[in-house]
Chain A
Amino acid sequence: GGIITQTPKFLIGQEGQKLTLKCQQNFNHDTMYWYRQDSGKGLRLIYYSITENDLQKGDLSEGYDASREKKSSFSLTVTSAQKNEMAVFLCASRLQGNQDTQYFGPGTRLLVL
């Protein structure tokens, strides 16, 4: 088995601030993802990475940067937090190839004042 950890669990920021969220997995999975979940809505893909140092944009990449520093970690940066923004950011990972299941981390809850 393995685990995905996300830090921090809760993040309170100020309008215009740059905020960084971190994700670590010990599954030894190749592909990692960042999703945003807004209340009452499904998940929207922000960025994903199919291997170390790779970066692919999802549908919601504007306003975000990402970095795959090593195989086990994937960071997401909110480049300029929007006032009253409230969402949950979910990290996921998946083994490349026939193992299609994506496993999700516990999430980071963001609130921008």
Chain B
Amino acid sequence: GEKVEQHESTLSVREGDSAVINCTYTDTASSYFPWYKQEAGKSLHFVIDIRSNVDRKQSQRLIVLLDKKAKRFSLHITATQPEDSAIYFCAADMNYNQGKLIFGQGTKLSIKP
């Protein structure tokens, strides 16, 4: 079945720098790739997604890139701020209409002052 690998388990960047989190997936039929943020002690909060009909999407400081050939997608957080510190999960869909998602293991992002 589909597997989603999140390459960085932890990531530390200096405030103001960019952070990049990379994910790969195995199922070529996957067409929807959301990202979620989990702050300490809280639930998952949707941040941005990308569909397979585009290869780039931006929402304010967040950029998602999708490389379908390499089955790879990434989240770029520009001009990082302390409130960006959290665990970020990538996911890929297994079945478009039912929205079954396979999640990566999560990346703990720390922003250093």
Chain A residues within 8 Å of B, Cβ to Cβ: 31, 33, 40-45, 48, 50, 56, 58-59, 90, 92, 94, 96-97, 100-107
A48 is contacted by which of B4, B34, B100, B103 (Cβ under 8 Å)?
B100
Pick the contact of A96: B43, B89, B97, B105 (CB < 8 A).
B97
Number of interface residues of B (CB under 8 A): 25
Whether B42 is near chain A, meaning CB under 8 Å from some CB there, is yes
Q: How far is the CB of B34 from chain A (nearest CB, A)?
A: 7
CB nearest neighbor in B for A100: B32
- What total of A-B pairs shows CB separation below 8 Å? 57
Chain B interface residues (CB < 8 Å from chain A): 1, 4, 6, 32, 34, 36, 42-46, 49, 51, 89, 93, 96-101, 103-106
Chain A residues lying within 8 Å of B4, measured Cβ to Cβ, are: 42
Asked whether, in the complex, the Cβ of A42 is within 8 Å of the Cβ of B106, the reply is: yes
**B34 proximity list for chain A (CB < 8 A):** 100-102
